[in-house]
Amino acid sequence: MKSDFYAAISQIAAERGIPRESVQEVIEQALVKAYRSYLGNNPPPVEVTVKLDPVTGEAHVFAEKQVVDDVLDDRLEIDISEAREIRRGAELGETVLVESTPRDFGRIAAQTAKQVVLQRIKEVERDQVYGEYMDREGEIVTARVQRHARGNVIMELGKAEAVMPPKEQSPSDRYHPNTPFKVYLAELKREERGPRLIVSRARPELITRLFEMEVPEIYNGAVEIKAIAREPGVRTKVAVAARQEGVDPVGSCVGMRGIRIQNIVNELNNEKIDVVQWSPEPRTFIANALSPATAIEVQLRDENIAVVIVPDKQQSLAIGKEGQNVRLAAKLTGWKIDIKSASDLLSEERVVDEARSAAEVAALASESALQRAPVEQRRVRADGMISYRTETFGPLPAELINELVDLRAAEGTLNIYYDGRLVASYMVDTRP
């Protein structure tokens, strides 16, 4: 094999950042296959090694042969005298490496090994990429846009290629070729064609990592991010809490004159970010989450429903454009949030009071009508039922079977009494 081929391999190793020793090992393994192919379909059962000369770049084939007194198969054995010419002190039964390089092996090796070598180099590169990024999953890395393919953004990440699927893209970004972005390394998959790196600009974890980069108090643990609700490219709410006394968690994240939060907003192409104080008390947390709106009162109902009363002029602010503010607050807190203005609440309370009063008046009227209604008697049947007009009602309590009971009917109600005590009440048609 000519030395210029060896020089070319050295150049490939340098260009691709692969140690030359690794490339040389790959080539030597490939040349063993080339040699066996050269021998045809029936190669001898002997261990073969191929070594590249670091000076000339030539390939040398060595066969492992056993040292014997009487050679029966020169493909597998070597006479002891010849063995000692190769290695002094060789003894019977030992093995020595005997050069067995065919005359035209250099040409054959170059032709046969080329594809194998290139393939193995690719495999080494893939292993290097996987090794480089296997411990960086979940980190922020800087990638540069290469091209678009079927909705995916293909990005250059060092020597690797990363993919940003449509669902991982932020609507506010413009992915022009050669544009750099900070991206979240979401997944690293080892596939047959090589490592597959999935990056994201849409996941909440990107927000977490950007805050860690910009806010020292978060990085060192003095401030903790408790929850994130995000609509990528539009708006994000971040709930933070202090883990050390005397630390203002919201102020730490915003920074002096808002410089810290502005750096994050700029990185996200002007995505709005609300930083709010987290609280273990649901009412307080819900009120904070609706920032910039101010809550007058938070009422907690069953099934994780919260009714929040806000000033009339802030109802639209609390709800947000297309419901975005209240929607993000609900995601952040885990509560279903119903926004009502103070006027709405007063109107509802007035309606409830009027309905309650009307019901009370109706109940009194019905009771009065029943008191004036004539009394009819019926004997309770064995099955606990009684008849009134064309209908049957019951069953009544078992102790009333075969007893006489009093019936009064008025205003659509049938009351049944026993010894002056009301025992049952049914809806009934009392029209004449």
Tell me the domain boundaries of the chain.
3-131, 134-200, 279-363, 373-427
User: Mean of the pLDDT values across residues 137-143?
Assistant: 92
Task: Give the Cα-Cα-Cα angle 137, 142, 144 (nearest 5 degrees).
Answer: 120
User: Mean of the pLDDT values across residues 96-101?
Assistant: 87
E-strand stretches of 6-74: 48-52, 59-68
Partners of 53 in beta bridges: none
8 A C-beta contact, residue 223 and residue 216: no
**How many other C-beta atoms can be found within 10 angstroms of the C-beta atom of residue 309?**
19
CA distance 164 to 184: 10
CATH number for region 3-131: 3.30.1480.10
8 A C-beta contact, residue 385 and residue 395: yes
Instruction: Quickly tell me which residue has 């690719």 as its tokens.
Output: 122
The mean-pLDDT minimum among 50-59, 143-152, 165-174, 358-367 falls in 358-367
**How many other C-beta atoms can be found within 10 angstroms of the C-beta atom of residue 373?**
17
The rounded radius of gyration (Å) of the Cα atoms in the chain is 43
Is the pLDDT reported for residue 73 higher than 60?
Answer: yes
Quick one: pLDDT at residue 157? 86
pLDDT-derived band at 216, boundaries 50, 70, 90: very high
Q: What is the DSSP letter of 167?
A: G
Cα of first residue to Cα of last residue in the chain, in angstroms, is 118
CA distance 309 to 287: 10
User: Mean of the pLDDT values across residues 15-38?
Assistant: 78
Given this chain, do its domains 3-131 and 134-200 carry the same CATH topology? no
pLDDT-derived band at 1, boundaries 50, 70, 90: very low
Q: From residue 64, how far is each of 12, 49, 69, 75, 77 by CA, in Å?
A: 31, 8, 16, 9, 9
Multiple choice CATH, 134-200, 2.60.40.1180, 2.40.50.100, 3.30.2140.20, 2.40.50.140: 2.40.50.140
CA distance 318 to 344: 14
Multiple choice CATH, 279-363, 3.40.50.12160, 3.40.50.300, 3.30.300.20, 2.140.10.10: 3.30.300.20
